[in-house]
Amino acid sequence: MGGVLAITGLAAWLAPILAERKIKRSVPEVFIGEFAVWAFGEFDIWNSAMTQFRSVSTGQITEEDGSPLAGEVSRKIEIVYEQGNRYGYQERKVLIPIPVGKEQEAEEVVRRILDANSSSH
C-alpha cells in the first residue's frame, strides 16, 4: 500500500513540473475559451459534470533553479480545476505560455475566465 502512495505522490508532484518543461520547449497553438482550453494537443474543460473550477492567474515561468526564464515565452496563465474520478477529486493544472508582448491580452483572458466562472457557481 505504501508503494502505491509513493508512486501516486511522485506522479502528482512531477506532473506540473513536466508540463511546464514541455511548455518551455515548444511554441504551441492554443485556443482558450471561458470554460475550456485546447493546448499541446490536450483538451481541458472545467465547466462540466464532475469538474470544479478553482482559480486562474498569470505568473512567471521559472527555470528549475527558480530563476526567471528568458526568451520568447517567460510568463504563463495557470488554470486550476478539480476533476472527479472514482476516488474523489483530482486537481488539474493547465499551463498556457504567454508570448512576450501579449501580457495585456493574457490579463484580459484571465479576467474573462474569472468573470464567467464566478457566476457559474
What's the rounded mean pLDDT across residues 66-73? 71
Dihedral angle sign, alpha carbons of residues 68, 7, 12, 15:
positive
Residue 2 grid coordinates: 505504501
pLDDT confidence of residue 26? 65
CA distance 95 to 78: 5
At 92-105, the pLDDT tens digits run: 999 998 888 899 99
The neighbouring-strand residues paired with 45 are: 36
CA distance 18 to 7: 16
Judge whether 97 and 48 are in contact, CB under 8 Å.
no
Q: Is the pLDDT of residue 121 over 80?
A: no
pTM of the model: 0.70
Q: Is the pLDDT of residue 73 over 90?
A: no
pLDDT confidence of residue 39? 86
- Residue 117's SS3 state is helix
At 24-62, the pLDDT tens digits run: 676 667 899 999 999 877 899 999 999 999 999 999 887
What are the extents of the domains in the chain?
2-118
